[in-house]
Structure 1
Amino acid sequence: MSDIKKMYTTILGDHFPMEMTVTFGDQRLIYRKRTWNIAQEDGRYEERGIRYGENPDQEAALYELVNGNLELGGCRYIEPGNGLVSAISAEDMLQVGKHPGKINLTDIDNGLNIIKYLMERPAAVILKHNNPCGAAVASSLAEAFDRANRADRIAAFGGAVVLNRACDRETAELLADNYLEVVCASDFIENSLDIIKKRKNLRVIKIARIDRLAEFERYRFVDFKSLIDGGIIIQQSALNSVRTPADLKPAIADWQGATYRCEREPTQQEVDDMLFGWAIEHGVTSNSVLYVKNGCTVGIGTGEQDRVGVAEIAVHKAYIKYADILCFDRHRISYADLELAIARGERKTEEKEGIDRQVAADRAGLPGSVMISDAFFPFRDGADVGIRQGVSAILQAGGSLRDFETIQACNEADPKVAMKFTGQRSFKH
């Protein structure tokens, strides 16, 4: 049997060429493999590419677009010279840590994909396995990271953090209190680098272009999906077309000669959370449902086959994470560790019961949150899941034959629930 622990600490190497050309008719895109000249423990420098792919036995390579201007059907795709993750240099790796692998880089990339819509305020996104587990905006970067981390302290363990401002000392002190795999920001100021580099295996990456990330909203890129038979599906990358309150559409539907309209309009805070939540949605694997509140995620349900199921999973996760953070605040241990200590007779059952009562009373902080769905609700049961938990507003694509049912659910709620349509689906697979 292979030593899998050793595999995790070994750089696999790859046999992919240094240059790759993709031809679209008479147009060509030229890519160059990204490698880094990295110092070794013995003082020597060695040229290395990606650590390995999704698993330690998969070779992988990172390529940067270096030449070619592609235009198809009137759409001009992103041009060379706009590198983010693919342009990371050895100098940008302020601390190499365990050397980046494919998942580290795709986590950063998806964090940038989300945070490019959140550039107006300090924001932080924490990702695991290419999905956000916590995201928040705030008045300061430290507050944004702290809120994102507290939204799901469990999943954030070993995660990748992407920040949309230069990392300052206060933020670095919070980062250093957590076990993380990657921290990425446009810069590291106020001796913040010295603070977070105390975590020797942490990968610290600087991407200076983050401060211009909002420009990437308008760029499309070619999205490749390879098939097991060697074939390829190509699509345009998605664009978020819901960026301002004016982009939100009224929830109206016709059914059997009658017109149904959502009776309550959202508040300004609910509108803000709709736009924030829809930005997060663009980085979540589908089917997905999110709950957000005051510019922070409360529960994130990802990658399920049915919409009511993922709405329930997001609620379930919200309760678990809420119990954990309450336990950590009170006892400085996780909820799981508290349960184990009680089972061993080391702590009192009353400690857990007190947390459980508080979680039930607060309904995991879900009342007053906004429910975000990346596609329409085929039946009202998905929306009813959130309404039962006290959501005050819903944002969904609209377009179901039974939109009228979901509108009825919002109007029948006590108090009434506001709802808007996006007119856009946000699937990501």
Structure 2
Amino acid sequence: MADLKKMYTTILGDHFPMDMTITFGDQTMVYRKRTWKLTQDDGTVEERGIRYGENPDQEAALYELVGGNLTLGDCRFIEPGHGLVSGIKAADMLQVGKHPGKINLTDIDNGLNIIKYLMDRPAAVILKHNNPCGAAYGKDLADAFNRANRADRIAAFGGAVVLNRPCDKATAELLSQNYLEVVCAPEFDQGTLEILGQRKNLRVVRIDRLDRLAEFEKFRFVDFKSLIDGGLIVQQSAVNSIRSAADLKPAAATWKGEEYKVEREPDAREIDDMIFGWAVEHGVTSNSVIYVKDGCTVGIGTGEQDRVGVAEIAVHKAYVKYADLLCFDTHGIPYAQLALEIQQGKRDKAQQEEIDARTKADRAGLPGSVMISDAFFPFRDGADVGINQGVSAILQAGGSARDFETIVACNEADPKVAMKFTGQRSFKH
């Protein structure tokens, strides 16, 4: 077991070259491997690449685009000089903690992928295994992180946090109360590093360009998928085109010559949550359904094979996380610990029954939320899952042959449920 633990903290090293050139016909893109010269506790300087890949026995390297450009058709891809994760310098690793590996960097990257659409207000995204587990706006940065963390305290354990404003002392105090792997922000105010330093294994990373992240909204990059036979699938990166109410489309359909349309229009709060939710959805592994309310995630369902199933999973997760939060607020311990202590005879079962009853009565905070689906509902059953939990509005891609069924479901609901189409799918694999 000692060797296994050591494996997770050992820097594997790699045999990848310092430079890599990719040629697209007569166009060339040049990449350089990112390494960091870091001063150790004993004063020696060591040059390191990333710790390892997805697992400790996989060599890995990080490359930054440093030369060349690419234009394919009408698409001009991102140019050199715009490095974010690939541009992290040794001076930006304000606290190294455990040296970062591939998963840490891809979590930061997907956090940036989401938060680049949320730059107008203080916001925080917490990620685990390249999926958001909590995302929120806030009246200030500390409030944004607190809301994101309380959306899913369980999954946030050991997560990566991306903040879109300089980290202040109030936010640092909240961060230091959690076990986290990475905290990333455009800057860290004076005194915050001493607070965050209470967590010795925490990686604290500054990304200078993060304050200009909104500029990356329209940037495209080349997205590679490697196949087991050594082949490649290459695609343009996705762009979120739903950025305002004007981008939303009416939920209407025709079936056997009859016209169907949603009878209730979303209000301003629901539209705001639609825009926010679609931005978060942009970074969630498909098939996915999420629920958001007042600029904060309530339940996130990721990576399922069927849409009704993922809608149900997101509801189940919302109930589990809500009960855990109630337990923590009431008794100062996680729900799982409460259940264990009841089983051990250390607590009264009435404490658990009270939390369960309140969670059921509150329906885990789902009533009034907006249901977001990254693609169309092939049948109304997926939408019915959310409607039965009291969602007030739905945002989905539209385009199903049976869109009329979901429209009918919204109109039959009491009270009626608003719905809009995006006309855009948001799959991510």
Cα distance in structure 2, aligned partners of 1:208 and 1:65: 17
Q: How far apart are residue 193 of structure 1 and its match?
A: 1.5
Cα distance in structure 1, aligned partners of 2:39 and 2:341: 44
Cα distance in structure 2, aligned partners of 1:146 and 1:2: 36
Residues 26 and 2 of structure 1, relative CA distance in 2, 3 Å threshold:
farther
Cα distance in structure 1, aligned partners of 2:272 and 2:138: 12
Cα distance in structure 1, aligned partners of 2:3 and 2:262: 59
1:25 is matched with which residue? 25
Cα distance in structure 2, aligned partners of 1:190 and 1:256: 66
The Cα offsets for residues 374-407 of structure 1, whole Å up to 9 and x where unpaired, read as: 0000000000000000000000000000000000
Report the TM-score when normalising by structure 1.
0.99
**Amino acid aligned to 1:424:** Q
The Cα offsets for residues 135-160 of structure 1, whole Å up to 9 and x where unpaired, read as: 00011000000000000000000000
Cα distance in structure 2, aligned partners of 1:284 and 1:361: 29
2:74 is matched with which residue? 74
1:114 is matched with which residue? 114
Q: How far apart are residue 190 of structure 1 and its match?
A: 3.9
Q: How far apart are residue 206 of structure 1 and its match?
A: 0.2
Cα distance in structure 1, aligned partners of 2:135 and 2:21: 37
The 5 Å alignment of 1:381-396 reads 381-396=381-396
The 5 Å alignment of 1:169-184 reads 169-184=169-184
2:356 is matched with which residue? 356
Cα distance in structure 2, aligned partners of 1:71 and 1:387: 45
**Amino acid aligned to 1:87:** G
Cα distance in structure 2, aligned partners of 1:7 and 1:21: 32
Cα distance in structure 2, aligned partners of 1:286 and 1:407: 23
The 5 Å alignment of 1:23-422 reads 23-422=23-422
Q: How far apart are residue 2 of structure 1 and its match?
A: 9.0
Secondary structure of 1:57 counterpart: coil
**Amino acid aligned to 1:222:** V
**Amino acid aligned to 2:89:** S
Cα distance in structure 2, aligned partners of 1:50 and 1:378: 42
**Amino acid aligned to 2:52:** Y
Cα distance in structure 1, aligned partners of 2:251 and 2:126: 32
The Cα offsets for residues 214-247 of structure 1, whole Å up to 9 and x where unpaired, read as: 0000100000000000000000000000000000
Secondary structure of 2:193 counterpart: helix
Report the TM-score when normalising by structure 2.
0.99
Cα distance in structure 2, aligned partners of 1:313 and 1:21: 43
Q: How far apart are residue 207 of structure 1 and its match?
A: 0.3
**Amino acid aligned to 2:149:** N
Secondary structure of 2:86 counterpart: helix
Secondary structure of 2:124 counterpart: strand
Aligned pair count reads 429
**Amino acid aligned to 2:40:** Q
Moved over 6 A (4+): none
**Amino acid aligned to 1:173:** E
Cα distance in structure 2, aligned partners of 1:39 and 1:207: 20
**Amino acid aligned to 1:107:** D
Cα distance in structure 1, aligned partners of 2:214 and 2:363: 36
Any gaps of 5 or more consecutive residues in structure 1? none
Cα distance in structure 1, aligned partners of 2:190 and 2:253: 54
Cα distance in structure 2, aligned partners of 1:94 and 1:77: 31
Cα distance in structure 2, aligned partners of 1:191 and 1:3: 37
Q: How far apart are residue 74 of structure 1 and its match?
A: 2.0
Cα distance in structure 2, aligned partners of 1:9 and 1:83: 27
Q: How far apart are residue 42 of structure 1 and its match?
A: 2.5
Cα distance in structure 2, aligned partners of 1:133 and 1:218: 25
Secondary structure of 2:235 counterpart: strand
Secondary structure of 1:233 counterpart: strand
**Amino acid aligned to 2:127:** L
2:7 is matched with which residue? 7
Q: How far apart are residue 208 of structure 1 and its match?
A: 1.1
1:424 is matched with which residue? 424
Q: How far apart are residue 38 of structure 1 and its match?
A: 1.2
**Amino acid aligned to 1:108:** I
Q: How far apart are residue 41 of structure 1 and its match?
A: 3.1
The Cα offsets for residues 275-302 of structure 1, whole Å up to 9 and x where unpaired, read as: 0000000000000000000000000000
Cα distance in structure 1, aligned partners of 2:236 and 2:100: 27
The Cα offsets for residues 40-95 of structure 1, whole Å up to 9 and x where unpaired, read as: 23221110000000000000000000000110112110000000000000000000
**Amino acid aligned to 2:313:** I
**Amino acid aligned to 1:373:** S
Cα distance in structure 2, aligned partners of 1:264 and 1:193: 50
Cα distance in structure 2, aligned partners of 1:293 and 1:405: 25
Secondary structure of 2:333 counterpart: coil
Aligned sequence identity (%): 78
RMSD: 0.8
Secondary structure of 1:94 counterpart: strand
